[in-house]
Amino acid sequence: MENAMCFQVLGFDILIDSKFKPWLLEVNSSPSFGTDTSLDYKIKKNVLGDIFQMLNMNFDKRVAIIKERKRRATERIMTGKTYKLTPE
């Protein structure tokens, strides 16, 4: 299947001191995408946009993949035909 891949988004908490030196505080394996401020919203929106761009995923492809999955499910129900799990 096209776009069948796995990835993980990590959240890095960084403190910048008075000399503008960055200090890594922690790395979150499951960062929150909730937003409290407009800056927080802008940053997280851009992160998610970059993720979808790296995955070469857009709305049209998403719709096409969903339609293809529904078509295959219907065909499987009606005929019993199955598909390999390997990419096409």
The pLDDT score that the predictor gives to residue 84 is: 64
Name the pTM for this structure.
0.54
- In a domain? residue 30: yes
Across the range 54-77, mean pLDDT stands at: 87
5, part of any domain: no
Tokens for 9? 């988004």
In-domain check, residue 1:
no
Residue 65 domain flag:
yes
Number of structural domains found in the chain: 1
Range of the domain at 55: 11-79
pLDDT band at residue 60 under the 50/70/90 scheme: confident
Q: Is residue 68 part of a domain?
A: yes
